[in-house]
Amino acid sequence: MAKQIAEMLIESVTMELPDTKTIRLKWPEGYEPDFKTGQFITLYWPDTPAYKRAYSLSSCALDRGYYEVTVKRDGKMGTRIVDWAKAGDTLWVIPPTGRFLPVFEPPGKHLVCIAGGSGVTPFRGFAREATRRQLDTRLTILYSVRTTNDIIFHEEFKQLEQENERFDFYVTCTRLHPDDPWTGRRGRITAEWVKEHVHDLPNTVFYACGTTELVEATEHLVLTELKLPKEQMKTEKWG
């Protein structure tokens, strides 16, 4: 059966950061897609149907009635969404697809999610679903940003940590001023830092989402240094 492409109303917009916006797209009447957390949708504006852009869902499959995507000001589509998209506008939406899926079955897995910048957006969906379903899945997000002003979903992730004892959210900052009062970790994501959070390698699944540099470094760590099979590594490169 062909996937149903639908025109959707932008129900609300939220500025996460000065250059990052979440838009909520309302499902039209009778639209009931079957999709999974971690997938992406493809968007295009009614006046420019030839220009399409895919975005990971930052909502999860348990969020019904709408999709959410969180977009950084980047390229033609990202710039238009961040600077101009408002509630009441419409976008055409190609339904979710993709294989960047959380391994929640069988129970007892540990998902180590490594992200840089806006690459954290699909992991919000992972954490939402695992928490709401009260799953027996450990979920650890290791998140690299330039400064504390670049942390997306900080409050929501901290709230999910309170609700879910199996979820941990860690941030490392790469460009803080030496006098900044931040007491957390500084510097890039390193193999040593990742290994600190891994305690059961056979049951760990690694995810990497972000720049090509971050994803390839994670692949090298998992496949070469840790010598794990490709089945334990899932990636989403954003250029």
Specify the 3-state DSSP secondary structure of 51.
coil
CB-CB neighbours of 190 under 10 Å? 13
> What single-letter DSSP state applies at residue 217?
H
> What domains are defined for the chain?
6-97 (2.40.30.10), 110-237 (3.40.50.80)
Say if residues 117 and 153 touch (Cβ distance below 8 Å). no
**Res 233 pLDDT > 60:** yes
1 falls in which pLDDT band (50, 70, 90)? very low
As a whole-number percent, the residues of the chain with pLDDT over 90 amount to 96
Closest CA to 61 of 38, 92, 94, 93: 38
* Mean pLDDT computed over every residue of the chain: 96
**Res 2 pLDDT > 70:** no
pLDDT, tens digit, 9 for 90 and up, residues 42-62: 999 999 999 999 999 999 999
The structure's pTM equals: 0.96
- pLDDT given for residue 24 in this prediction: 98
- pLDDT given for residue 239 in this prediction: 59
Compute the average pLDDT of residues 60-68: 98
